[in-house]
Amino acid sequence: MKLSVTTLSLCVALFHLNAAQAEGNWLTLVGDPKDHAADYIQLNPSGLSRDKNMRTVPVRVSRVYARTSKEGIVFRSFEGVAAIDCVSGSARILQASFYAEANFKGKPIRVEVFKPDDVRPLAFRDVSGQPTQRVVLAACNTRIASN
């Protein structure tokens, strides 16, 4: 069986997400996970994968209030894998597991794997502090990326 580069990259990203979740090495970029009245955004540098100027990295977001995704999924938190282009400074989500509860409690209510032509920019509505740029900088930072 011959796998496309994109399929292989996604498989590697999902492997890294599972490994990162098991290790629990999350870096908080926005908010505070201990503050139940605040949103927070984290990435896991131990799950980071590099390919030239591209990175894939596990990310997770917990929201104070329920949000609705483009697909109509009502969620409070999600864990996923983001693809980061360090040259353009852009980020997109490759895969996401959505949870009804904050802090990734319970089983995912839905898991989405986005096809290469279904580009989903990594965006955080109503979160101040330029969180997408923080994810890009953290993933592309050579000190973090080389660990």
pTM: 0.79
Residues of the chain with pLDDT below 70 are 1-23, 142-147
pLDDT for 18: 46
CA distances to 15, 94, 107 from 59, rounded to whole Å, are 14, 11, 17
pLDDT for 82: 96
pLDDT for 143: 60
Domain that holds residue 72: 5-145
Instruction: Indicate which CATH number applies to the domain containing 20.
Output: 2.40.128
**Residue (of 94, 42, 31, 95) closest to 64 by Cα position:** 31
Q: What is the total count of domains within the chain?
A: 1
Contact 124, 38 (CB under 8 A): no
